[in-house]
Amino acid sequence: MIMVQAKNLGKKYSVSRGRPLFLKSIFKPQVCDEIWALKDVNLEINAGEIIGIIGKNGSGKSTLLKILAGITKPTLGTVAINGRVASLIELGAGFQADLTGRENIYLNGTILGLTKREISRRIGHIIRFADIGNFIDVPVKKYSSGMTVRLGFSVASHLDPEILLLDEVLAVGDAAFQKKCLDKIAEFKKSGKTIIFVSHDLNQVANICERAVWIEDGKIKKNGSSREVVNSYLGSVSEGFETELTIMSKDWANGSTEPQNQSASVKKVSVKNLEGKPVNKLSTNDSFNIEIEFETKEENVFCGMTVIFYDNGGNCVFGTIGNHESNWYGKPMPKGRYVSVCRIPANFFNDGWFDVSLNLFGRHFIDSCMTHKVLRLRILDGSEVRGDYYGRYDGTVRPLFDWSTRRKS
Amino acid sequence: MIIVFFKQLYERRDLLLALTTKELKTRYKSAFLGFLWAFLNPLLQMAVLSVVFMLIVRIPVQNYSLFLFCGLLPWTFFSQSLISGTGSLTANRDLIKKAAFPREILPLSVILSNAINLILSLALLLPAILIFANISWPLILLPFAILLHIIFTAGLVLIASSLDIYYRDVSFIIQALTMAWFYLTPIIYPLSMVPQRFVDLYAANPMVGIISLYRFALLGGDAPTFFALAASMILTAILFIFGIIIFKKREPFFADWI
């Protein structure tokens, strides 16, 4: 059964500076700019579905939710809703600071659409679920913010709607409270209710929702299985960063300032893909090469190299020495041009910015020449190997290690 | 549209009651004298006006204080409902942006809470009338006067509040209007003092019929003229229907404008 059907939804906002004057408007019509917060949105939601809505700030998510909730009316298109809707766009809507928790339960409950009798029947459960003890008969102004939220969620979760609209409500409260919320959502899900859920927490969307809708600039950019949609969204978010700040290759054409020591001089350092082609985009899933082109100054010199990576805060992540290289390392090199390649495996770096320094050295690691910030890499979040985790990774590396679990008893 | 208005109002009557109680509770919960303020305010106003108009201006009316009070209490209801009802939508910005419910409940709850104050104040006034004057059969008209007054106020507040949410000068216009209106209504002076040639024009003010009806119900004396009463009733009906239509037409955009 289709619970929500939106056809060609469009919502236009007129933006003006402040509210106009009535007396003035009689003589002069108001001019204002128009902004389409939503355009051509088509959406069908079936009974029992849990659907996540993601997108950047200002993309139109909340506008869509407000239209579905009946708070505002679409400029174009139609919405058909099949069932009782409860919208939790804000917890504790209309809470009055001077009234007690108990009085506010009645007020908030009736605002959300319950009748007084329905509230009286549930008030015991509501108070128990809120779990704020004797504070229930104390004016809400004496509450901590956590208590207010708990009371608000407690009322909301006893609404018994067929369609539940949630906007970022889970972002508040402590871990215990969040768990309570998630349990309640699971309970709703079990009883076959439809849940529409706007969130910035991609991890929650990917794991709680079966389907997700990604909205950008007021349009549906992708609508499909939640993991797929979250993946493409994550990809696009990191693409948004300025790539002009990266340095993917450096050339020392006119010999004077190039990094050099007595045996060799570096001509070029660049990032290449595994086929040896230059790249301008790197993701955590990519394996890539750092190629160093150099020229020996005399016959039979010895020469080696270290590549060192720094994170955005200037902390050294690691350095790698090319002393396991088997063709030329430790051997006398005839005069000529050479290319050293250092391969960085896929699924090694975390996403972020990295500076690369190059150290050129001669025999016995003396006569070295260190050059900082030869390259500046931006590694984007390629999320193919995230599994079911869509949150942040800590640290500067994101290696893919082997894990195993066995049962001991 | 009018049927929808009443249907929604009936469906959400519990919300209307909850918001009305909230209005009453929050207004008087922290004040020491509680509800009495609703009565005390007009009482103080009456004391001042009585001194001015009995000793200085000398309006020739028997029991002037009672006469004044019978007009002042309904007027207090009217002006307070009009002023806070007009601003009731903008005052509940968060609620309008974040929850879905028939918006007319906000201004109507303000009117209803003021009406409860009015009824309690009138109840306090009755013993005074019993002592200084006498009560007779017209008292049965009092509920009708109150009802007419509430509907008239509601019509006006529906229009004003739905304009106030868009235009920022409406509440100021309403305040100025209320002040002028006070002197154009027979509250501090009797209708008989109005020059004969202006009486018909004067009675086109629907508050004339309503206040006269209150006076007649409480103090007896001359019944309001048929013309004044008819003008009040017809204007009340027109204003109320017009108010519902304009409010309901603008309602879908409240969340965008506010």
Q: Where in chain A do CATH 3.40.50.300 domains reside?
A: 2-239
Rounded Cα distance between A204 and A170, Å, is 9
pLDDT score recorded for residue B82: 95
Residue A402 has, within 13 A of its CA and on its CB side, a CA count of 1
Q: What residue of B is the nearest CA neighbor of A93?
A: B95
pLDDT exceeds 60 at position A283 = yes
List chain B pLDDT tens, one digit each, 258 residues: 888 888 888 889 999 999 998 888 877 766 666 667 767 777 888 788 888 888 888 888 888 888 888 898 999 999 999 999 999 999 988 888 888 889 999 999 999 999 998 998 888 888 888 888 777 888 889 999 999 999 999 999 999 999 998 888 899 999 999 999 999 999 988 888 888 888 878 888 889 999 999 999 998 877 888 888 888 999 999 999 999 999 999 988 888 887
Q: How far is it, in rounded angstroms, from Cα B100 to Cα A313?
A: 48
Backbone φ and ψ for A103, nearest 5 degrees, come out as -65, -35
User: What pLDDT does residue A239 have?
Assistant: 61
Residues B194-241: tens digit of each pLDDT = 888 888 788 888 899 999 999 999 988 778 888 888 889 999 999 999
Q: Does A235 touch chain B (CB under 8 A)?
A: no
Q: Tell me, what's the ipTM?
A: 0.82
Check if A215 contacts B (Cβ < 8 Å): no
Average pLDDT over residues A246-266: 82
Nearest by CB: A96 against B22, B253, B255: B22
pLDDT at B31: 64
Task: Measure Cα distances from A356 to A96, A269, A312, A316, A377 in Å.
Answer: 57, 10, 11, 10, 8
The pLDDT of residue A374 is above 60:
yes
Q: Which long-range contacts (CB under 8 A, 24 or more apart) does A390-393 make?
A: A390/A202, A390/A203, A390/A205, A390/A206, A390/A207, A390/A230, A390/A234, A391/A201, A391/A202, A391/A203, A393/A350, A393/A351
Two structure tokens written together for B203: 């009675």
Q: In the block, which residue shows the tokens 């019944």?
A: B223
Average pLDDT over residues A307-329: 89
Query: Closest to A116 (Cβ–Cβ): which among B14, B166, B167?
Result: B14
Q: Which of A72, A104, A122 would best serve as a mutation to test chain B binding (most B beta carbons within 10 A)? A: A72
Whole-number Å distance between alpha carbons of A68 and A51: 13
Lowest average pLDDT, out of A24-28, A54-58, B194-198, goes to: A24-28
Helix (H, G, I), strand (E, B) or coil at A397: strand
* pLDDT band per the 50, 70, 90 thresholds, residue A343: very high
Please tell me the predicted confidence (pLDDT) of residue B103.
92
Give the residue, A37 or B108, on which the prediction is more confident: B108
Average pLDDT of A138-167? 85
Q: Which residues contact A53 (CB under 8 A, 6 or more apart)?
A: A61, A64, A65, A196, A197, A198, A199, A212, A213, A215
% of chain A with per-residue pLDDT over 70: 95
How many CA atoms, within 13 angstroms, populate the side-chain half-sphere of residue B109?
28
Mean pLDDT in residue range A191-201: 85
Residue B170: exposure state from Cβ atoms within 10 A (0-12, 13-18, ≥19): buried
pLDDT at A199 (0 to 100): 83
How high is the pLDDT of residue A247?
Answer: 85
- The pTM assigned to this predicted structure is 0.75
pLDDT of residue B144: 93
Q: Is the pLDDT of residue A33 over 80?
A: no
**A21/B168 CB distance under 8 A:** yes
Could you tell me if A165 and A65 are in contact, meaning their C-beta atoms sit under 8 angstroms apart?
yes
Given this model, what pLDDT does residue B106 score? 94
Contact A94 B12 (CB under 8 A): no
Domain ranges for chain B, please list them.
Answer: 2-257
A249-380: CATH architecture: Distorted Sandwich (2.70)
CATH number of A2-239: 3.40.50.300
The alpha-carbon gap from B4 to the nearest alpha carbon of chain A, in Å, equals: 16
Q: Which residue ranges does chain A devote to CATH 2.70.50.60? A: 249-380
- Asked if B252 and A116 come within 8 Å (Cβ–Cβ), the reply is no
pLDDT at A171: 63
Q: In chain B, which among 180-239 make CB contacts under 8 A with chain A? A: none
Looking at the complex, does the CB of residue A71 fall below 8 Å from at least one CB of chain B?
yes
A87·B100 Cβ contact <8 A = yes
Q: Which residues are within 8 A (CB) of B127 and not within 5 positions of it... i.e. 6 or more apart?
A: none
Which residue is associated with the tokens 């007021």? A218
Tokens of A335: 């005069």
More confident site: A369 or B58: A369
- Environment class of B222 (CB within 10 Å of its CB; exposed 0-12, middle 13-18, buried 19+): exposed
Q: Between B14, B97, B168, which is nearest A110 by CB?
A: B14
User: What does the alpha-carbon distance between residue B116 and residue B114 come to, in Å, rounded to a whole number?
Assistant: 5
Q: Give CA–CA dist A58/A218, Å, rounded.
A: 8
Which tens digits make up the pLDDT trace of A102-148?
999 999 889 888 889 999 999 999 998 888 888 999 888 898 888 88
Mean pLDDT for all residues in chain A: 85
Residue A95: closest C-alpha in chain B: B95
